[in-house]
Amino acid sequence: MTQASAYLTLQGVGKQFGAFTALEDIDLSIPRGEFVCFLGPSGCGKTTLLRIIAGLEAHSRGTLVQDGRDISRLPPAQRDYGIVFQSYALFPNLSVADNVGYGLVNRRQPRAQVTARVDELLALVGLPGSGAKFPAQMSGGQQQRVALARALATSPGLLLLDEPLSALDAIVRVRLREELRALQRRLGVTTIMVTHDQEEALSVADRIVVMNQGHIEQVGTPLQIYREPASAFVADFVGKVNKLPAVAEGERWFRCGDFRWQCPPGQGADYRVGTPVWLYLRPEDRIVDGLGPDHPAACEGQVQQVEFLGGNCLAEVVLPGLPAPLQLQFSLNQMDEYQVRAGGGLRFALRTDRLHVFPAVA
C-alpha cells in the first residue's frame, strides 16, 4: 500500500518520557475503512500510540497524516475522530440522549437535527427509546453502547477504541465485539482498537499491529499473524504454541532430543550447523488419521493430562527422547474418536511443514 492511498499514515513516530523510550520509530499506513487492532502486553506502547493519534499525548518526533492533512501538531478538537474509552467516560448528570448529542450541541446544530441524529444512533447501537435514561440506570454493556453512539455522533472519519470491552464480563464482551465489528462494516468507518486480548484482535481485525516494548513486531491479517509469526515474540504472544529447544544440523534439519525434523522452505535455511534455536509448532498441527505402520514421522507418547477448554481440549503428551512435553489440540469429538485420555497412549505425527524456527536468545 502506498502512502498516497492510505487514510492514516504514521512516519517515524516516537515518544520519550524523560530517559524512557515509550515508542521508537513507528511507521504505519492504514487504508480507509480498515479495522486495525493494536495488540500487545501492558506497557508495550499501544495506548500511548492511540493517544498520540488522538492528540491527547504529544509525540516527541515523527509525522501523522490523516486523509491528506498533516495533523501532527493539531489539538484534539481540530482532528477528525471519535473515541471510546475503557471507562465509558459518560457524563453521569446528563441523560443518555444528552450524552450522545453532546458533540453535536457543541457544534451548535439545530435541536431538531440533534434529536433526530441521537434517535438514529441509539437505534443503530441497539438502544432505541433509551434517551431519557441516565448512565447509572444502565448496565456496563449498555453504557459502552452509549459511549460508542456518542463517538459516532459527528460522523468522524476515524474511530478510536481504547480497550472498550475489557471492563465487561465474558459473555457481554463476546456479544458486543461481534456487534461492534458488524457496525464498523456497515458504516465503513476507519477504526483503530487497542487491546491486549489476542482472541478479541483475531476475531474483529482486518489487520493486527503486534507491539512489544515500543516497537512494531509485525503487521498482518489475523491469519498471517497466527500462521506466519515474524518473531519469537509474536509466536509466543498470539495463540498457544509448543516451544522446543533444538540444534541446527544444516539443510533445514534440526535435532530436538532424539528427534530430527526438517523445516519447510523459508524456515531455518540461514542457521549454521550447531546453532541453538527454538522450534515453534501450534497444538493443532498434528496428524492422527491415516498413519500407517511405516509412516516416517510417526511417534508415540503418553497423555499426562487434559485441559478442558469447552469445544476443544489440550492434551499434554510426553514423548520419550523429547526434552519437553507437547500440547496437542483436539475437539471433543476427536477426544472420543482417538480415545485421548490422561494416562493413555497416543500415536500421531507432527505437521513439520508448519514448523517455525527462531534463534535461541540467552
Tens-place pLDDT, residues 19-73: 999 999 999 999 999 999 999 999 999 999 999 999 999 999 999 999 999 999 9
Confidence (pTM): 0.92
pLDDT band (50, 70, 90) for residue 3:
low
Within 130-258, strands assigned E span 158-162, 190-195, 207-212, 215-220, 242-250, 253-256
CA distance readout (Å), 227 to 164, 238, 354: 27, 10, 8
Q: What is the pLDDT of residue 2?
A: 52
Average pLDDT in the 317-337 region?
95
Distance CA 183, CA 186 (A): 5
Distance CA 248, CA 275 (A): 5
Task: Compute φ and ψ for 332, nearest 5 degrees.
Answer: -60, -40
Burial (CB < 10 A; 0-12, 13-18, 19+), residue 253, is: middle
Q: What is the pLDDT of residue 204?
A: 95
Q: What is the pLDDT of residue 283?
A: 97
**157-215 tens-digit pLDDT:** 999 999 988 878 888 888 889 999 999 999 999 999 999 999 999 999 999 999 999 99
Average pLDDT in the 269-292 region?
92
Distance CA 290, CA 241 (A): 24
pLDDT of 156 > 90? The answer is: yes
Distance CA 256, CA 249 (A): 10
Task: Compute φ and ψ for 49, nearest 5 degrees.
Answer: -65, -40
For residues 162 and 194, is the Cβ–Cβ distance under 8 A? yes
pLDDT of 4 > 70? The answer is: no
Distance CA 69, CA 90 (A): 30
pLDDT of 5 > 80? The answer is: no
User: Which of 55-69, 88-102, 286-300 has the highest mean predicted lDDT (pLDDT)?
Assistant: 55-69
pLDDT band (50, 70, 90) for residue 107:
confident
Task: Compute φ and ψ for 205, nearest 5 degrees.
Answer: -80, 145
For residues 291 and 349, is the Cβ–Cβ distance under 8 A? yes
